[in-house]
A and B are shown apart, each in its own frame.
Chain A
Amino acid sequence: MSEQAVISEVPGVFYRKPSPDEPVYVEEGQKVKAGETIGLIEVMKNFYEVTAPADGTVKAFKAEEGDVVDAGQEIAVIE
């Protein structure tokens, strides 16, 4: 199986949950479909969705809840 990086398209603050009291969008090891939301980037008072680029399994997250990320930074790996 090939690995594919999930890249943040915008700079901002990364979140794995839709809101602080809700569970994460996906756990590591969970299967996702292409286009499925796996996290959010807070930017300019708004939230920008981070989506899976392909069907597969989330192998690992490379950014933690609340991390500041740059545009182009790897956020997760999908296998």
Chain B
Amino acid sequence: MIKVLKPGLQTTVQDNGRNGYYALGMPPSGAMDKFSFLAANLLVGNDENAAVLEATYLGPELEFQTDAVIAIAGGEFPPKVNGQCVPLWTTLAIREGDVLSFDFVKQGARVYIAVAGGIEVPVKMGSRSTYTLCGIGGFEGRALQKGDVLAIGERTGPSPVEGTAVPVYLRMKFSKSNEIRVVMGLCSYRLTEEARRKFLSIDWTVTPDANRVGYRFKGEPLDFVPRKQPFGAGSDPSNVTDLGYPIGSIQVPSGIEPIALLHDAVTGGGYVTIATIISTDLNKMGQIKSNETVRFVEVTLDEAIEARKELNAKLDEIKQIIS
């Protein structure tokens, strides 16, 4: 068992996500940075879909009431066991009574804490991920609170030896200014040529309105091609007849402050969507903090698929090193 001494700012149980229920209006949830999530699970010998803890901006303080094997990966939140610094991206042995805590975040936005055996919470619609809006999944459908006690699942295999690490060149890298690759499309026909150019050329600043639902950006207004609004859409030029929103899609309500929809997002609505963040770059997006900047870079579908292959090759390399 793991006792929550301090919950952090928003710490939730997440796995690979609740996939297959999009048509019911259920977003997938799941780890925002799947790369770090997966690396943490690999470092403790878990199944790739085992549930972990995802902490945002402020790490939790956890008391282990049993011996355990853990790994911490993702943003640079310097971890400590009983006050002593321990390394990130590394297999760690924990003794009963040890307390895991974190120093202030240095880089990145989210850190993943994997425990051999996984965090044991009930599976809801195929997943252990927390979706707080409806109180589904995770630990009682909500972020952790002080005093919660988490169960650890059965181990499915041996863990790598203590000290096994993901080499530095394979770890997530962070920056205060970021390039995020997008495929233009969806209703981008609504943008004027100038707005499209502007969207792809300016630095967008992440506002404090940035969480698992989505990130809102500040920049410059984007104009739409004038039209008589079609029946059923609504009167604002940014309104469309309500439609589905992909994960990673970028919408522009009223032409100001674009919003990138992420893993706990609404699945549809009536705002024009203009582009979609490619799946590999959602990991990076999930590690960007308020007030950092993003530049959206257009890529083709083939380039997006190539990026998936590169990411999978990187994960395969990690698997080779660990096993």
Q: Which residues of A contact B (CB under 8 A)?
A: 7, 9-13, 42-45, 48, 68, 71-72
Contacts and interface: CB of A to CB of B under 8 A. Distances in A.
Contacts of B209: 44-45
Nearest to B216: A45
Contacts of B10: 44
A68 B9 CA distance: 18
B211 A9 contact: no
A13 B290 CA distance: 9
B58 interface: yes
B191 interface: no
A57 B104 CA distance: 25
Contacts of B289: 11
A7 B105 CA distance: 12
B9 A44 contact: yes
A9 B104 CA distance: 6
Contacts of A12: 57, 208, 290
A9 B9 CA distance: 9
A71 B104 contact: yes
A71 B211 contact: no
B211 A45 contact: yes
A11 B211 contact: no
A43 B57 CA distance: 9
Place the interface of chain B in its size category.
10 to 19
Contacts of A44: 9-10, 56-57, 208-211, 290
A48 B9 CA distance: 8
Interface string B47-78: 00000000011100000000000000000000
A68 B208 CA distance: 10
B105 A71 contact: yes
Contacts of A10: 9, 57-58, 105
A43 B207 CA distance: 9
Contacts of A72: 103-106
Nearest to B208: A42
B272 to A, nearest CB: 23
B6 to A, nearest CB: 10
B210 A11 contact: no
B291 interface: yes
Contacts of A48: 9
A45 B210 CA distance: 7
A49 B108 CA distance: 22
A45 B209 CA distance: 5
A13 to B, nearest CB: 5
B208 A7 contact: no
A48 B209 CA distance: 14
